[in-house]
Structure 1
Amino acid sequence: MENKKPLSIIKIGGNIIDNPSELKQFLNDFSKIEGHKVLVHGGGKSATKMAKSIGLVPQMIDGRRITDAPMLEVAVMIYAGQINKNIVAQLQALETNAMGFSGADGNLIQSVKRNHPTIDYGFVGDVQKINTSLLETLISNEIVPVFCAITHDKNGQLLNTNADTIASELAIALSAVFEVTLNYCFEKPGVLYDSEDDSSVIPTMDTALYSELKTKGAIHSGMIPKLDNCFNSLSKGVQKIRIGHHQMLQNTNSVCTTIQL
Protein backbone atom coordinates (compact mmCIF):
# COMPACT_ATOMS: atom_id res chain seq x y z
CA MET A 1 0.00 0.00 0.00
CA GLU A 2 1.24 3.47 -0.89
CA ASN A 3 2.51 5.50 2.05
CA LYS A 4 0.09 8.21 3.13
CA LYS A 5 1.31 11.78 2.78
CA PRO A 6 1.50 13.79 6.01
CA LEU A 7 -1.21 16.36 6.71
CA SER A 8 -1.15 18.95 9.52
CA ILE A 9 -4.51 20.14 10.83
CA ILE A 10 -4.23 23.17 13.10
CA LYS A 11 -7.03 24.69 15.14
CA ILE A 12 -6.67 28.16 16.67
CA GLY A 13 -8.88 29.72 19.32
CA GLY A 14 -10.31 33.12 20.02
CA ASN A 15 -7.44 34.47 22.09
CA ILE A 16 -5.06 34.23 19.12
CA ILE A 17 -7.65 35.67 16.73
CA ASP A 18 -8.49 38.58 19.04
CA ASN A 19 -4.85 39.70 19.26
CA PRO A 20 -3.70 41.08 15.87
CA SER A 21 0.05 40.74 16.58
CA GLU A 22 -0.39 37.20 17.96
CA LEU A 23 -2.49 36.23 14.92
CA LYS A 24 0.13 37.67 12.58
CA GLN A 25 2.87 35.64 14.29
CA PHE A 26 0.75 32.48 14.24
CA LEU A 27 -0.04 32.84 10.52
CA ASN A 28 3.65 33.40 9.83
CA ASP A 29 4.44 30.13 11.66
CA PHE A 30 1.55 28.35 9.92
CA SER A 31 2.69 29.49 6.47
CA LYS A 32 6.10 27.88 7.07
CA ILE A 33 4.69 24.42 7.83
CA GLU A 34 5.87 22.19 5.03
CA GLY A 35 3.52 19.89 3.15
CA HIS A 36 -0.26 19.66 3.21
CA LYS A 37 -2.16 21.59 5.88
CA VAL A 38 -5.63 22.69 6.97
CA LEU A 39 -6.55 25.53 9.34
CA VAL A 40 -9.66 25.59 11.55
CA HIS A 41 -10.51 28.71 13.54
CA GLY A 42 -12.95 29.60 16.26
CA GLY A 43 -13.70 33.19 17.17
CA GLY A 44 -16.11 33.07 20.08
CA LYS A 45 -14.83 36.21 21.79
CA SER A 46 -15.28 38.37 18.70
CA ALA A 47 -18.83 37.04 18.28
CA THR A 48 -19.57 37.67 21.97
CA LYS A 49 -18.28 41.25 21.69
CA MET A 50 -20.39 41.94 18.59
CA ALA A 51 -23.47 40.33 20.16
CA LYS A 52 -23.19 42.50 23.28
CA SER A 53 -22.73 45.63 21.17
CA ILE A 54 -26.16 45.05 19.59
CA GLY A 55 -27.86 44.12 22.84
CA LEU A 56 -27.74 40.31 22.70
CA VAL A 57 -26.85 38.34 25.82
CA PRO A 58 -24.56 35.40 24.97
CA GLN A 59 -25.31 32.15 26.82
CA MET A 60 -22.84 29.31 27.47
CA ILE A 61 -23.40 25.89 29.05
CA ASP A 62 -20.34 23.70 29.88
CA GLY A 63 -18.14 25.68 27.49
CA ARG A 64 -20.62 25.37 24.61
CA ARG A 65 -22.54 28.28 23.14
CA ILE A 66 -26.33 28.48 22.99
CA THR A 67 -27.19 29.83 19.53
CA ASP A 68 -30.60 31.39 18.95
CA ALA A 69 -31.50 32.92 15.56
CA PRO A 70 -30.03 36.42 16.23
CA MET A 71 -26.84 34.88 17.68
CA LEU A 72 -26.51 32.64 14.61
CA GLU A 73 -26.60 35.74 12.38
CA VAL A 74 -23.76 37.26 14.40
CA ALA A 75 -21.75 34.01 14.35
CA VAL A 76 -22.06 33.66 10.56
CA MET A 77 -21.12 37.30 10.03
CA ILE A 78 -18.07 37.17 12.31
CA TYR A 79 -16.81 33.61 11.78
CA ALA A 80 -17.51 33.01 8.07
CA GLY A 81 -17.10 36.66 7.11
CA GLN A 82 -14.76 38.96 8.98
CA ILE A 83 -12.42 36.45 10.67
CA ASN A 84 -12.26 33.87 7.88
CA LYS A 85 -11.57 36.33 5.06
CA ASN A 86 -9.06 38.31 7.13
CA ILE A 87 -7.10 35.09 7.78
CA VAL A 88 -7.25 34.04 4.11
CA ALA A 89 -6.03 37.48 2.98
CA GLN A 90 -3.12 37.41 5.43
CA LEU A 91 -2.13 33.90 4.32
CA GLN A 92 -2.18 35.01 0.67
CA ALA A 93 0.28 37.76 1.64
CA LEU A 94 2.50 34.99 3.06
CA GLU A 95 2.44 33.07 -0.25
CA THR A 96 0.08 30.44 1.17
CA ASN A 97 -2.73 29.72 -1.28
CA ALA A 98 -5.56 29.60 1.25
CA MET A 99 -9.27 29.26 0.52
CA GLY A 100 -11.91 30.02 3.16
CA PHE A 101 -14.83 27.68 3.79
CA SER A 102 -17.90 27.13 5.88
CA GLY A 103 -19.25 23.60 5.99
CA ALA A 104 -21.90 24.57 3.43
CA ASP A 105 -19.33 25.36 0.72
CA GLY A 106 -19.00 22.32 -1.53
CA ASN A 107 -21.10 20.44 1.06
CA LEU A 108 -17.78 19.96 2.87
CA ILE A 109 -19.18 19.53 6.40
CA GLN A 110 -22.76 18.40 6.90
CA SER A 111 -24.27 18.54 10.38
CA VAL A 112 -27.52 17.86 12.17
CA LYS A 113 -29.17 20.28 14.61
CA ARG A 114 -28.34 19.12 18.12
CA ASN A 115 -31.15 17.27 19.87
CA HIS A 116 -30.52 17.28 23.61
CA PRO A 117 -32.98 15.82 26.14
CA THR A 118 -32.85 18.79 28.54
CA ILE A 119 -31.02 21.72 26.87
CA ASP A 120 -32.15 23.63 23.78
CA TYR A 121 -28.85 24.62 22.17
CA GLY A 122 -30.67 26.43 19.36
CA PHE A 123 -28.96 26.44 15.96
CA VAL A 124 -26.00 24.31 17.02
CA GLY A 125 -24.81 21.54 14.72
CA ASP A 126 -23.23 18.17 15.41
CA VAL A 127 -21.05 16.97 12.52
CA GLN A 128 -22.48 14.05 10.55
CA LYS A 129 -20.47 13.83 7.35
CA ILE A 130 -17.25 15.17 5.80
CA ASN A 131 -16.84 15.43 2.02
CA THR A 132 -13.44 13.71 2.11
CA SER A 133 -13.06 13.29 -1.66
CA LEU A 134 -13.49 17.01 -2.43
CA LEU A 135 -11.17 17.95 0.43
CA GLU A 136 -8.55 15.49 -0.79
CA THR A 137 -8.76 17.06 -4.27
CA LEU A 138 -8.34 20.59 -2.87
CA ILE A 139 -5.44 19.64 -0.61
CA SER A 140 -3.69 17.61 -3.32
CA ASN A 141 -3.88 20.68 -5.57
CA GLU A 142 -1.95 22.71 -2.96
CA ILE A 143 -5.02 24.59 -1.72
CA VAL A 144 -4.92 25.28 2.04
CA PRO A 145 -8.51 25.06 3.36
CA VAL A 146 -9.38 27.52 6.14
CA PHE A 147 -12.53 26.46 7.98
CA CYS A 148 -14.70 28.60 10.23
CA ALA A 149 -17.07 27.16 12.84
CA ILE A 150 -20.19 27.23 10.64
CA THR A 151 -21.67 24.08 9.06
CA HIS A 152 -25.04 23.27 7.45
CA ASP A 153 -27.76 20.60 7.49
CA LYS A 154 -28.20 20.14 3.67
CA ASN A 155 -31.74 21.59 4.07
CA GLY A 156 -30.73 25.24 3.84
CA GLN A 157 -29.99 25.82 7.53
CA LEU A 158 -26.60 27.09 8.70
CA LEU A 159 -25.48 25.80 12.11
CA ASN A 160 -22.96 27.02 14.67
CA THR A 161 -20.55 24.15 15.37
CA ASN A 162 -17.78 23.77 17.93
CA ALA A 163 -14.48 24.50 16.15
CA ASP A 164 -12.57 21.91 18.21
CA THR A 165 -15.08 19.31 17.03
CA ILE A 166 -14.75 20.42 13.40
CA ALA A 167 -10.96 20.02 13.63
CA SER A 168 -11.39 16.58 15.21
CA GLU A 169 -13.93 15.37 12.64
CA LEU A 170 -11.81 16.65 9.74
CA ALA A 171 -8.79 14.85 11.22
CA ILE A 172 -10.71 11.58 11.56
CA ALA A 173 -12.13 11.73 8.01
CA LEU A 174 -8.85 12.76 6.37
CA SER A 175 -6.85 10.10 8.25
CA ALA A 176 -8.30 7.66 5.71
CA VAL A 177 -6.14 9.26 3.00
CA PHE A 178 -3.40 11.17 4.89
CA GLU A 179 -1.18 10.65 7.92
CA VAL A 180 -2.77 13.27 10.13
CA THR A 181 -1.26 15.30 12.96
CA LEU A 182 -3.82 17.45 14.79
CA ASN A 183 -2.59 20.53 16.67
CA TYR A 184 -4.79 22.59 18.99
CA CYS A 185 -3.11 26.00 19.40
CA PHE A 186 -4.16 28.46 22.07
CA GLU A 187 -2.60 31.05 24.37
CA LYS A 188 -1.30 28.54 26.96
CA PRO A 189 1.80 26.31 26.57
CA GLY A 190 -0.30 23.14 26.98
CA VAL A 191 -2.84 21.46 29.25
CA LEU A 192 -1.98 22.59 32.79
CA TYR A 193 -2.11 20.85 36.16
CA ASP A 194 -2.89 24.32 37.56
CA SER A 195 -4.71 26.71 35.20
CA GLU A 196 -3.10 29.67 37.00
CA ASP A 197 0.47 28.37 36.56
CA ASP A 198 1.78 28.29 32.98
CA SER A 199 4.82 26.27 34.09
CA SER A 200 2.61 23.33 35.17
CA VAL A 201 2.29 21.82 31.68
CA ILE A 202 1.27 18.15 31.51
CA PRO A 203 3.74 16.70 28.94
CA THR A 204 1.68 13.59 28.14
CA MET A 205 -2.04 13.09 28.76
CA ASP A 206 -3.68 9.67 28.59
CA THR A 207 -7.23 8.58 29.41
CA ALA A 208 -6.38 7.50 32.97
CA LEU A 209 -4.77 10.84 33.88
CA TYR A 210 -7.61 12.73 32.15
CA SER A 211 -10.22 10.88 34.22
CA GLU A 212 -8.29 11.55 37.44
CA LEU A 213 -7.84 15.29 36.73
CA LYS A 214 -11.51 15.71 35.76
CA THR A 215 -12.57 14.08 39.05
CA LYS A 216 -10.30 16.48 40.98
CA GLY A 217 -11.71 19.46 39.04
CA ALA A 218 -8.24 20.37 37.71
CA ILE A 219 -9.62 20.03 34.16
CA HIS A 220 -12.96 21.75 33.59
CA SER A 221 -15.19 23.90 31.33
CA GLY A 222 -13.97 24.34 27.72
CA MET A 223 -10.99 21.99 28.13
CA ILE A 224 -13.32 18.99 28.63
CA PRO A 225 -14.92 18.99 25.14
CA LYS A 226 -11.45 19.71 23.66
CA LEU A 227 -9.90 16.64 25.31
CA ASP A 228 -12.96 14.46 24.62
CA ASN A 229 -12.45 15.30 20.93
CA CYS A 230 -8.76 14.43 21.17
CA PHE A 231 -9.30 10.94 22.59
CA ASN A 232 -12.11 10.27 20.12
CA SER A 233 -9.82 11.29 17.22
CA LEU A 234 -6.96 9.04 18.35
CA SER A 235 -9.31 6.08 18.66
CA LYS A 236 -10.42 6.62 15.03
CA GLY A 237 -7.13 6.77 13.16
CA VAL A 238 -5.56 10.19 13.80
CA GLN A 239 -1.81 9.71 14.12
CA LYS A 240 -0.76 12.36 16.63
CA ILE A 241 -2.39 15.15 18.68
CA ARG A 242 -0.71 18.06 20.46
CA ILE A 243 -2.12 20.95 22.50
CA GLY A 244 -0.11 24.09 23.20
CA HIS A 245 1.10 27.50 22.11
CA HIS A 246 1.61 27.96 18.36
CA GLN A 247 5.38 28.17 18.97
CA MET A 248 5.27 24.35 18.91
CA LEU A 249 4.55 24.46 15.15
CA GLN A 250 8.06 25.69 14.31
CA ASN A 251 10.02 24.59 17.39
CA THR A 252 10.11 20.82 17.89
CA ASN A 253 11.55 21.34 21.39
CA SER A 254 8.72 23.65 22.45
CA VAL A 255 6.80 22.62 25.57
CA CYS A 256 3.33 21.24 24.82
CA THR A 257 0.95 18.44 25.79
CA THR A 258 0.91 15.30 23.65
CA ILE A 259 -2.34 13.32 23.85
CA GLN A 260 -2.23 9.52 23.75
CA LEU A 261 -4.67 6.70 24.48
Structure 2
Amino acid sequence: MKNKISIIKIGGNIVNDEKALDTFLANFSKIENTKILIHGGGKIASQLNDKLGIKTIMNEGGRISSAENLDIVTMIDAGLINKKIVSKLQGYNCNALGLSGSDANCILANKRPTSPVEYGFVGDIKAINSSTIKMFLSHGITPVFCAISHDGNGQLLNTNGDIMASEIAIAMSKYIDTELIYCFDKKGVLSDITNEHSTIENINYEKYLALKENKTVNEGILPKMENCFNALNNKVSKVSIGDHSMINGNEIFTTLTL
Protein backbone atom coordinates (compact mmCIF):
# COMPACT_ATOMS: atom_id res chain seq x y z
CA MET A 1 0.00 0.00 0.00
CA LYS A 2 0.99 3.61 -0.48
CA ASN A 3 1.06 6.12 2.38
CA LYS A 4 -2.47 7.40 1.85
CA ILE A 5 -5.87 5.88 1.10
CA SER A 6 -9.09 7.41 -0.21
CA ILE A 7 -12.40 5.81 0.76
CA ILE A 8 -15.05 7.07 -1.65
CA LYS A 9 -18.80 6.46 -1.52
CA ILE A 10 -21.05 7.21 -4.49
CA GLY A 11 -24.81 7.44 -4.17
CA GLY A 12 -27.58 5.92 -6.23
CA ASN A 13 -28.17 9.09 -8.23
CA ILE A 14 -24.68 8.80 -9.72
CA VAL A 15 -25.16 5.09 -10.37
CA ASN A 16 -28.40 5.91 -12.20
CA ASP A 17 -26.75 8.48 -14.48
CA GLU A 18 -24.60 6.67 -17.06
CA LYS A 19 -22.71 9.80 -18.11
CA ALA A 20 -22.06 10.95 -14.54
CA LEU A 21 -20.95 7.44 -13.58
CA ASP A 22 -18.52 7.21 -16.49
CA THR A 23 -17.06 10.63 -15.67
CA PHE A 24 -16.68 9.70 -12.02
CA LEU A 25 -15.06 6.33 -12.73
CA ALA A 26 -12.62 7.88 -15.22
CA ASN A 27 -11.56 10.39 -12.54
CA PHE A 28 -11.55 7.73 -9.79
CA SER A 29 -9.20 5.54 -11.81
CA LYS A 30 -6.71 8.42 -12.02
CA ILE A 31 -6.36 8.74 -8.24
CA GLU A 32 -2.76 7.71 -7.66
CA ASN A 33 -2.95 6.75 -4.01
CA THR A 34 -4.60 3.57 -2.73
CA LYS A 35 -8.39 3.69 -2.94
CA ILE A 36 -11.61 1.86 -2.11
CA LEU A 37 -15.02 2.48 -3.67
CA ILE A 38 -18.40 1.89 -2.02
CA HIS A 39 -21.50 2.31 -4.16
CA GLY A 40 -25.16 2.71 -3.36
CA GLY A 41 -28.02 1.07 -5.18
CA GLY A 42 -29.61 2.54 -8.25
CA LYS A 43 -33.23 2.66 -9.35
CA ILE A 44 -33.06 -0.72 -11.11
CA ALA A 45 -33.86 -2.68 -7.94
CA SER A 46 -36.94 -0.54 -7.29
CA GLN A 47 -38.03 -0.93 -10.91
CA LEU A 48 -37.66 -4.70 -10.72
CA ASN A 49 -39.62 -4.77 -7.46
CA ASP A 50 -42.44 -2.93 -9.23
CA LYS A 51 -42.38 -5.30 -12.21
CA LEU A 52 -42.55 -8.32 -9.90
CA GLY A 53 -45.28 -6.77 -7.77
CA ILE A 54 -43.09 -6.65 -4.68
CA LYS A 55 -44.13 -3.72 -2.52
CA THR A 56 -41.66 -1.31 -0.95
CA ILE A 57 -42.70 -0.90 2.68
CA MET A 58 -41.63 2.07 4.79
CA ASN A 59 -41.75 2.28 8.57
CA GLU A 60 -41.06 5.55 10.41
CA GLY A 61 -39.10 6.88 7.45
CA GLY A 62 -36.97 3.77 7.01
CA ARG A 63 -37.19 1.14 4.27
CA ILE A 64 -38.04 -2.36 5.42
CA SER A 65 -35.93 -5.05 3.76
CA SER A 66 -38.16 -8.10 3.41
CA ALA A 67 -36.65 -11.40 2.25
CA GLU A 68 -37.96 -10.69 -1.25
CA ASN A 69 -36.60 -7.13 -1.24
CA LEU A 70 -33.21 -8.37 -0.06
CA ASP A 71 -33.06 -10.93 -2.87
CA ILE A 72 -33.72 -8.22 -5.47
CA VAL A 73 -31.23 -5.77 -3.93
CA THR A 74 -28.57 -8.48 -3.80
CA MET A 75 -29.21 -9.49 -7.42
CA ILE A 76 -28.99 -5.93 -8.70
CA ASP A 77 -26.53 -4.17 -6.38
CA ALA A 78 -24.09 -7.03 -5.69
CA GLY A 79 -24.59 -8.39 -9.19
CA LEU A 80 -25.40 -6.13 -12.12
CA ILE A 81 -24.36 -2.74 -10.72
CA ASN A 82 -21.24 -3.94 -8.91
CA LYS A 83 -19.94 -5.91 -11.88
CA LYS A 84 -20.79 -3.10 -14.29
CA ILE A 85 -18.72 -0.66 -12.21
CA VAL A 86 -15.83 -3.13 -11.96
CA SER A 87 -15.82 -3.77 -15.71
CA LYS A 88 -15.78 -0.03 -16.43
CA LEU A 89 -12.85 0.44 -14.02
CA GLN A 90 -10.96 -2.37 -15.74
CA GLY A 91 -11.50 -0.43 -18.96
CA TYR A 92 -9.78 2.52 -17.29
CA ASN A 93 -6.82 0.29 -16.27
CA CYS A 94 -7.90 0.22 -12.63
CA ASN A 95 -7.61 -3.36 -11.35
CA ALA A 96 -10.87 -3.51 -9.40
CA LEU A 97 -12.49 -6.36 -7.50
CA GLY A 98 -16.24 -6.36 -6.88
CA LEU A 99 -17.22 -7.38 -3.36
CA SER A 100 -20.07 -7.63 -0.91
CA GLY A 101 -19.39 -7.72 2.80
CA SER A 102 -19.77 -11.50 2.84
CA ASP A 103 -16.93 -12.02 0.35
CA ALA A 104 -13.76 -13.05 2.23
CA ASN A 105 -15.70 -12.13 5.40
CA CYS A 106 -14.88 -8.45 4.76
CA ILE A 107 -17.81 -6.84 6.58
CA LEU A 108 -19.67 -8.51 9.44
CA ALA A 109 -22.95 -7.12 10.72
CA ASN A 110 -25.70 -7.80 13.24
CA LYS A 111 -29.30 -7.98 12.11
CA ARG A 112 -31.00 -4.89 13.47
CA PRO A 113 -33.25 -5.60 16.48
CA THR A 114 -36.96 -5.87 15.72
CA SER A 115 -37.92 -3.44 18.49
CA PRO A 116 -38.95 -0.65 18.53
CA VAL A 117 -39.06 -0.72 14.71
CA GLU A 118 -38.95 -3.80 12.48
CA TYR A 119 -36.66 -3.13 9.52
CA GLY A 120 -36.39 -6.71 8.30
CA PHE A 121 -33.06 -7.90 6.92
CA VAL A 122 -31.07 -4.76 7.71
CA GLY A 123 -27.59 -5.04 9.17
CA ASP A 124 -25.69 -2.78 11.54
CA ILE A 125 -21.95 -3.16 11.03
CA LYS A 126 -20.11 -5.10 13.73
CA ALA A 127 -16.61 -5.55 12.30
CA ILE A 128 -14.45 -4.68 9.29
CA ASN A 129 -11.91 -7.33 8.26
CA SER A 130 -9.14 -4.83 7.60
CA SER A 131 -6.43 -7.49 7.26
CA THR A 132 -8.17 -9.01 4.23
CA ILE A 133 -8.85 -5.59 2.71
CA LYS A 134 -5.18 -4.67 3.21
CA MET A 135 -4.18 -7.89 1.46
CA PHE A 136 -6.19 -6.89 -1.63
CA LEU A 137 -4.66 -3.42 -1.58
CA SER A 138 -1.13 -4.75 -1.19
CA HIS A 139 -1.59 -6.64 -4.46
CA GLY A 140 -2.67 -3.50 -6.30
CA ILE A 141 -6.35 -4.45 -6.24
CA THR A 142 -9.00 -1.76 -5.73
CA PRO A 143 -11.97 -3.14 -3.74
CA VAL A 144 -15.43 -2.06 -4.92
CA PHE A 145 -18.07 -2.75 -2.26
CA CYS A 146 -21.83 -2.83 -2.65
CA ALA A 147 -23.86 -2.12 0.49
CA ILE A 148 -24.54 -5.74 1.41
CA SER A 149 -23.02 -7.30 4.55
CA HIS A 150 -23.54 -10.63 6.33
CA ASP A 151 -24.05 -11.94 9.86
CA GLY A 152 -21.47 -14.76 9.78
CA ASN A 153 -24.21 -17.39 9.97
CA GLY A 154 -25.32 -17.50 6.36
CA GLN A 155 -27.59 -14.46 6.25
CA LEU A 156 -27.00 -11.52 3.93
CA LEU A 157 -28.07 -8.11 5.24
CA ASN A 158 -28.94 -4.83 3.55
CA THR A 159 -26.63 -2.17 4.97
CA ASN A 160 -26.42 1.62 4.87
CA GLY A 161 -23.70 2.46 2.32
CA ASP A 162 -22.76 5.74 4.01
CA ILE A 163 -22.16 3.95 7.30
CA MET A 164 -20.24 1.20 5.52
CA ALA A 165 -17.93 3.80 3.98
CA SER A 166 -17.27 5.53 7.30
CA GLU A 167 -16.65 2.23 9.10
CA ILE A 168 -14.17 1.10 6.43
CA ALA A 169 -12.43 4.48 6.69
CA ILE A 170 -12.23 4.19 10.48
CA ALA A 171 -10.80 0.68 10.22
CA MET A 172 -8.17 1.69 7.67
CA SER A 173 -7.19 4.83 9.60
CA LYS A 174 -5.51 2.59 12.18
CA TYR A 175 -2.88 1.71 9.58
CA ILE A 176 -2.68 4.52 7.04
CA ASP A 177 -3.54 8.20 6.51
CA THR A 178 -7.20 7.98 5.45
CA GLU A 179 -9.59 10.38 3.77
CA LEU A 180 -13.33 9.79 3.37
CA ILE A 181 -15.26 11.29 0.46
CA TYR A 182 -19.01 11.20 -0.07
CA CYS A 183 -20.10 11.88 -3.65
CA PHE A 184 -23.78 12.47 -4.32
CA ASP A 185 -25.96 14.74 -6.47
CA LYS A 186 -25.21 18.09 -4.77
CA LYS A 187 -22.07 20.23 -4.64
CA GLY A 188 -21.69 19.61 -0.93
CA VAL A 189 -23.80 20.79 1.99
CA LEU A 190 -26.10 23.57 0.79
CA SER A 191 -27.38 26.43 2.93
CA ASP A 192 -30.36 26.64 0.56
CA ILE A 193 -31.54 23.35 -0.97
CA THR A 194 -33.09 25.27 -3.88
CA ASN A 195 -29.80 27.02 -4.72
CA GLU A 196 -27.10 24.78 -6.20
CA HIS A 197 -24.54 27.57 -5.67
CA SER A 198 -25.05 27.83 -1.89
CA THR A 199 -22.36 25.31 -0.91
CA ILE A 200 -20.99 25.74 2.61
CA GLU A 201 -17.32 25.03 1.97
CA ASN A 202 -16.17 24.45 5.57
CA ILE A 203 -18.17 23.05 8.47
CA ASN A 204 -16.79 22.20 11.89
CA TYR A 205 -18.80 20.34 14.51
CA GLU A 206 -19.92 23.52 16.29
CA LYS A 207 -21.21 24.95 13.02
CA TYR A 208 -22.92 21.66 12.22
CA LEU A 209 -24.82 21.79 15.52
CA ALA A 210 -25.90 25.36 14.76
CA LEU A 211 -27.05 24.41 11.25
CA LYS A 212 -28.97 21.48 12.69
CA GLU A 213 -30.55 23.58 15.44
CA ASN A 214 -31.58 26.33 13.02
CA LYS A 215 -32.74 23.80 10.41
CA THR A 216 -30.59 25.64 7.87
CA VAL A 217 -29.62 22.51 5.95
CA ASN A 218 -31.86 19.84 4.48
CA GLU A 219 -32.67 17.13 7.03
CA GLY A 220 -31.80 14.41 4.52
CA ILE A 221 -28.09 15.19 4.70
CA LEU A 222 -27.85 15.19 8.50
CA PRO A 223 -27.22 11.41 8.83
CA LYS A 224 -24.44 11.68 6.23
CA MET A 225 -22.86 14.50 8.23
CA GLU A 226 -23.11 12.45 11.43
CA ASN A 227 -21.15 9.71 9.68
CA CYS A 228 -18.55 12.30 8.69
CA PHE A 229 -18.02 13.49 12.25
CA ASN A 230 -17.98 9.92 13.54
CA ALA A 231 -15.12 9.23 11.12
CA LEU A 232 -13.24 12.38 12.17
CA ASN A 233 -13.64 11.46 15.83
CA ASN A 234 -12.08 8.09 15.03
CA LYS A 235 -8.85 9.37 13.44
CA VAL A 236 -9.91 9.69 9.79
CA SER A 237 -7.77 12.63 8.68
CA LYS A 238 -10.03 14.33 6.11
CA VAL A 239 -13.73 14.14 5.24
CA SER A 240 -15.48 15.82 2.31
CA ILE A 241 -18.94 15.89 0.71
CA GLY A 242 -19.66 16.94 -2.87
CA ASP A 243 -20.81 15.85 -6.30
CA HIS A 244 -19.16 13.32 -8.59
CA SER A 245 -16.81 15.93 -10.10
CA MET A 246 -15.16 16.85 -6.81
CA ILE A 247 -12.47 14.16 -6.99
CA ASN A 248 -10.79 15.85 -9.97
CA GLY A 249 -10.19 18.91 -7.78
CA ASN A 250 -12.05 21.36 -10.00
CA GLU A 251 -15.31 21.67 -8.10
CA ILE A 252 -16.46 23.40 -4.93
CA PHE A 253 -17.34 20.96 -2.14
CA THR A 254 -17.77 20.82 1.62
CA THR A 255 -14.90 19.92 3.96
CA LEU A 256 -15.83 18.84 7.48
CA THR A 257 -13.55 19.28 10.48
CA LEU A 258 -13.76 18.91 14.23
Same fold? TM cut 0.5: yes
Distance 1:42 1:121 in 2: 18
8 Å Cα contact 1:92/1:98 also seen in 2: yes
Match of 2:51 in 1: 53
Q: Deviations over 1:191-214 (max 9, x none)?
A: 101111111101111222222222
- In the TM superposition, what is the alpha-carbon distance from 1:254 to its structure 2 partner? 2.2
**Under a length normalisation based on structure 2, what TM-score does the superposition of the two structures give?**
0.95
Alignment of 1:232-251 (within 5 A): 232-251=230-249
Q: Which amino acid aligns with 1:152?
A: H
Alignment of 1:68-217 (within 5 A): 68-115=66-113, 117-217=115-215
8 Å Cα contact 2:14/2:244 also seen in 1: no
Match of 1:256 in 2: 253
Are residues 107 and 157 of structure 1, via their aligned partners in 2, closer, same or farther at CA, if it must alter by over 3 Å? same
Structure 1: runs of 5 or more not aligned: none
Give secondary structure in 2 for the equivalent of 1:128: strand
Distance 2:60 2:231 in 1: 21
Give secondary structure in 1 for the equivalent of 2:4: strand
- In the TM superposition, what is the alpha-carbon distance from 1:219 to its structure 2 partner? 3.2
8 Å Cα contact 1:62/1:222 also seen in 2: no
Q: Which amino acid aligns with 1:17?
A: V
**Match for residue 17 of structure 1 among 3, 15, 18:** 15
Deviates more, 1:203-212 or 1:173-182: 203-212
Are residues 59 and 226 of structure 1, via their aligned partners in 2, closer, same or farther at CA, if it must alter by over 3 Å? farther
Are residues 222 and 92 of structure 1, via their aligned partners in 2, closer, same or farther at CA, if it must alter by over 3 Å? same
Q: Which amino acid aligns with 2:167?
A: E
8 Å Cα contact 1:68/1:123 also seen in 2: yes
**Under a length normalisation based on structure 1, what TM-score does the superposition of the two structures give?**
0.94
Structure 2: runs of 5 or more not aligned: none
Runs of 4+ aligned residues of structure 1 deviating over 3 Å after TM superposition are 59-64, 218-222
Q: Deviations over 1:205-261 (max 9, x none)?
A: 12222222223333344312211111101000101000001222112x520000111
8 Å Cα contact 2:167/2:231 also seen in 1: yes
8 Å Cα contact 1:4/1:177 also seen in 2: no
Give secondary structure in 2 for the equivalent of 1:192: coil
Distance 1:193 1:116 in 2: 36
- In the TM superposition, what is the alpha-carbon distance from 1:102 to its structure 2 partner? 0.3
Are residues 77 and 184 of structure 1, via their aligned partners in 2, closer, same or farther at CA, if it must alter by over 3 Å? same
Are residues 4 and 100 of structure 1, via their aligned partners in 2, closer, same or farther at CA, if it must alter by over 3 Å? closer
Are residues 254 and 62 of structure 1, via their aligned partners in 2, closer, same or farther at CA, if it must alter by over 3 Å? farther
